[in-house]
Amino acid sequence: MEIKNVQIANIFNRMADILEFKGENSFKINAYRKAARVIQDLTEDIETLAKEGRLRDIPGVGEGIAKKIDEYIKTGRITRYEEIKTEFPESLIDLSDIVGLGPKTLRLIYRELGIKNLLELQRAIENGSLANLPQMGEKKVENIKQGLKLFQASRERILLGFALPEVLGLISELQKLPEITNISPAGSLRRLKETVGDIDILVAGKDGRKIIEHFVHLPSVREILAAGETKASIITADGMQVDLRVVEENSFGAALQYFTGSKAHNIKLREMAKKKGLKLNEYGVFMGEEKIAGKNEEEVYEALNLPWIPPEIREDSGEIEAASNHNLPQLVQPDDILGDLHLHTNWSDGSCSIEEMAHHAKTLGYRYIAICDHSQSVKYAGGLTEDKLLRQIEEIARLNEKLSGTGFKPGIRILAGSEVDIKNDGSLDYPDWLLEKLDIVIGAIHTGFKHNVTERICRAMEHPLVKIIAHPTGRLISSREGYVIDLEKILEKASQTKTALEINSYYERLDLNDLNCKLASELGVKFVINTDAHHPQHLWMMKLGVGVARRAWLNKDSIINTQPLPERLPKFTINK
């Protein structure tokens, strides 16, 4: 979608909202809404149409609206919009997006209660003043409350770890329908961004109406927002909005490429196509009127003399240039991961035994895992005392013997490790004589987030037994910024000491993120992708960490746990 198309469509929608609030002519309001809808769906750049004098060819665009479009293209503003938007607080007009809060009700609460933003509306609901307004009533207030919840949810980005399972579940159900010949998630979810806005599913099939009908009546659907012949929007039981689009089979690849994005990536591809005398849109690649590609993504890129580019790196960050030079990286794949080196059990704050974690990891095809429960200072998480860690090491040795003599052959190796806290002075939470008994030592910070974190991490990396630093920035995506650190200094120290940095796959962490991984990789730093799982059901999140690594352009050689364990060495080795 062209950027100016979106900008103009948004302005016309906002103008319609303001005019509707004022109670103006419904014909004028509907004209703006229709124009916005058509412009948003245009496959051509509206600026090009304006230069070619073809604005009036757009359905719903009359002389008055065409003049406003032309004004925006030339000046970056629409005078009429600038005039009317100053008449009311912008935050008040934003409330018109709440289901159940129509223009009449919005005028009423503004006039009677002076409500002009979301916070004031919430207060009026809570203190009962909204319900006391004439012609309001409990049922109407309840509808507004429900609409408010949906409004707030729709404004927030969704964690990838929530959105991905939801979408994969929906796709699994949809694939049972024989009319569907191809299906894929699209948008930022397909690019595996750590948070997603819109959740989109793209389908190719023979009967759009039947596919839509099946989709909107899936068991996990809580509310149907829209259902046409080729498009539908639903709210799931978990409160997520998911949009489904049905396209023709011979356009599926072009549509998938288009709706996957990113916008910047797509704009550059369209520029390339134009220079070659081609037109690229969601329907295909065209030479004049002839469609020359579109059934799959590979042929879309091939039409531009490019190899297929993995979705995770489609951010206009050098991937198109690399593809043009036949220099795309071989990105790490989920199947490349041979083990998970950061698992918790019920010895500390996990919920399952060591053996249960091993059995589940084996079903995923792993050759090894490392049990790294918390160290003794992390009392709130059941950190292991020195004696308890010694007993755990013995238990792991016993289990390795047991599992090697069962149906586990060729077996899974359990490594004895620890997520050892880095104390405020940079020393480690266990003495060296105990650390030497472990197969793997992971350094981590869980307390004193404002206390010399950079220096503590750097000192820990200088310790010859510390092989990995867990969740290096300490962030929690939805609730915590992370430590105040000099990341460049930490990355340089990791490179010097040959200490691996963790890509923590747990959905709230994804730490390091893709940008920091890319910086670290440029310095020659190695990585370990771990789940930090506290339950077997967390192990699936490895794919989230692999997504981070792929977005950072990492190959399997950069990832320690894509390598097999040495046959005869008792310890997991990262040469330091």
* pLDDT at 1 (0 to 100): 39
Angle at CA of residue 422, ends 416 and 428, nearest 5°: 65
Topology of the domain covering 263-324:
Beta Polymerase; domain 3 (3.30.210)
Residue 478 preceded by cis peptide, ω within 30 = no
Spell 343-362 as b/e; 16+ CB within 10 A means b: bbbbbbebebebbebbebbb
User: Could you tell me which of 538, 534, 535, 529 has the C-alpha nearest to residue 563?
Assistant: 529
**C-alpha distance from residue 134 to each of 20, 105, 112, 130, 137 (Å):** 21, 10, 10, 9, 8
Q: Where in the chain is the domain with CATH 1.10.150.110?
A: 3-155
Q: Where in the chain is the domain with CATH 3.20.20.140?
A: 334-562
* Contact call for residues 156 and 150 (beta carbons, < 8 A): no
* Contact call for residues 526 and 558 (beta carbons, < 8 A): yes
- How is domain 3-155 classified at the architecture level of CATH? Orthogonal Bundle (1.10)
3.30.460.10, 3.40.190.10, 2.40.70.10, 1.20.1250.20: CATH of 158-247? 3.30.460.10
* pLDDT at 9 (0 to 100): 85
* pLDDT at 571 (0 to 100): 45
Whether this prediction's pTM lies above 0.75 is answered by: no
* Contact call for residues 469 and 460 (beta carbons, < 8 A): yes
Neighbour count for residue 151 (Cβ, 10 Å): 19
DSSP single-letter state for residue 572: -
Element (H, E) at 402: helix 386-404
Give the amino acid at 291: K
| Mean per-residue pLDDT pooled into runs of 10, the chain (576 residues) | 71 88 86 83 79 86 92 91 86 79 84 86 85 82 80 72 91 94 96 91 94 92 90 86 95 97 95 96 95 96 97 96 96 97 93 91 94 93 95 95 65 93 95 96 91 94 96 84 90 96 95 96 97 90 97 97 70 54
Q: What is the 3-state secondary structure (H, E, C) of 494-543?
A: HHHHCCEEEEECCCCCCECCHHHHHHHHHCCCCEEEECCECCHHHHHHHH
Q: Where in the chain is the domain with CATH 3.30.210.10?
A: 263-324
Give the strand pairing for 221-227 and 231-236. Answer: antiparallel
Topology of the domain covering 334-562:
TIM Barrel (3.20.20)
* pLDDT at 155 (0 to 100): 62
Q: Where in the chain is the domain with CATH 3.30.460.10?
A: 158-247
